[in-house]
Structure 1
Amino acid sequence: MAEGLINLLYPKQVYTRSCGVFAGERDPFVDSVMDEVGMDITDHQPKTFEDLAEDGFDLMVTLAPEAHHMALELTRTQSVDVEYWPTIDPTVATGSRSQIMDAYRAVRDTLKRKIEQRMD
């Protein structure tokens, strides 16, 4: 979601890549809530830190404790700012489809606000 939001809010202004700690499948709830804000991410494939064979980033933002620890370890010899934005994992949401979608929307909207605050 974060990469998609940055690309939506700051097209071609910010070089962005996203990855996670664990390999996983695309999440259809993410596709749905991003589609609601006009962002088609159906071509995006989830990646892990190992898949992201790039460096030279100025900033890494992590959303989960495991990712934060991994980012700090990977960048310990680099001049990279690493920020931790604690984010609730919407995949643990239960209830009706509407309730689950609300959990994903809350994450999307929180990330959007944090990105705008960080970029302004």
Structure 2
Amino acid sequence: MNAVRSPMAEALTRKMLPTTVFVASAGVRSGERDPFVDAVLAEEGLSLGDHRPRTLDDLEDDYFDIIVTLAPEAHHAALELTRSLAVEVEYWPMPDPTTISGTREQIMAGYRDVRERLKARIGQRFGTAGQQPHP
């Protein structure tokens, strides 16, 4: 729903990759902004700014070199969308932290886990592991 994993990945990717790389996130369905995402990104000095959850139809551009999906439903939708396009689609399964219950700290730990998994995957995939992030 472009409310948790993909906006988190977008913010992290923007920080980790050069500003010349275009990054956009979208979901299969519309969702509501998640305050836990804001909290775990703030721990990294990041913000979603005025980001509002978007769907694939909301994207202004449909030309991408790579599409990374983080949930099974999104992966299926991306494969359907790109059937006739020359674009690479990768699936990086990520847990859904919204399913975690318990104390605020237990919930935050689940969101931090997703954030750290995303940072690691972005670094591995795009060769930024161990490099200083962009300010």
Give the root-mean-square deviation of aligned CA atoms.
0.9
Pick the aligned partner of 2:111 from 96, 104, 109. Answer: 104
Cross-structure match for 2:65: 58
The one-letter code of the counterpart of 1:92 is: T
The one-letter code of the counterpart of 2:33 is: R
Specify every segment of 5 or more residues in structure 2 that has no aligned partner in the other structure, as ranges. 1-7, 128-135
Cross-structure match for 1:2: 9
What does the per-residue CA deviation read over 1:59-95, in whole Å, with 9 as the maximum and x for residues that have no partner? 0000000000000000010000000001100111100
Give me the whole-angstrom Cα distance separating, in 2, the residues matched to 1:42 and 1:91.
21
Give me the whole-angstrom Cα distance separating, in 2, the residues matched to 1:88 and 1:48.
20
Higher relative contact order (Cα pairs below 8 Å, separated by 6+ residues): 2
**Matched residues, number:** 120
Give me the whole-angstrom Cα distance separating, in 1, the residues matched to 2:40 and 2:55.
22
Cross-structure match for 2:4: none
Give percent identity, aligned residues only: 56
Cross-structure match for 1:25: 32
TM-score (normalizing by structure 2):
0.86
Structure 1 runs (4+) deviating above 6 angstroms are: none
Q: Map of 1:20-99 to 2, 5 A cutoff? A: 20-99=27-106
Specify every segment of 5 or more residues in structure 1 that has no aligned partner in the other structure, as ranges. none
The structural deviation recorded for 1:13 is 3.3
Cross-structure match for 2:133: none
Give me the whole-angstrom Cα distance separating, in 2, the residues matched to 1:42 and 1:95.
28
Q: Which moved more, 1:35-44 or 1:57-66?
A: 35-44
Is the contact made by 1:6 and 1:14 (CA closer than 8 Å) also made in structure 2?
no
Q: Which moved more, 1:7-16 or 1:71-80?
A: 7-16
The structural deviation recorded for 1:11 is 4.1
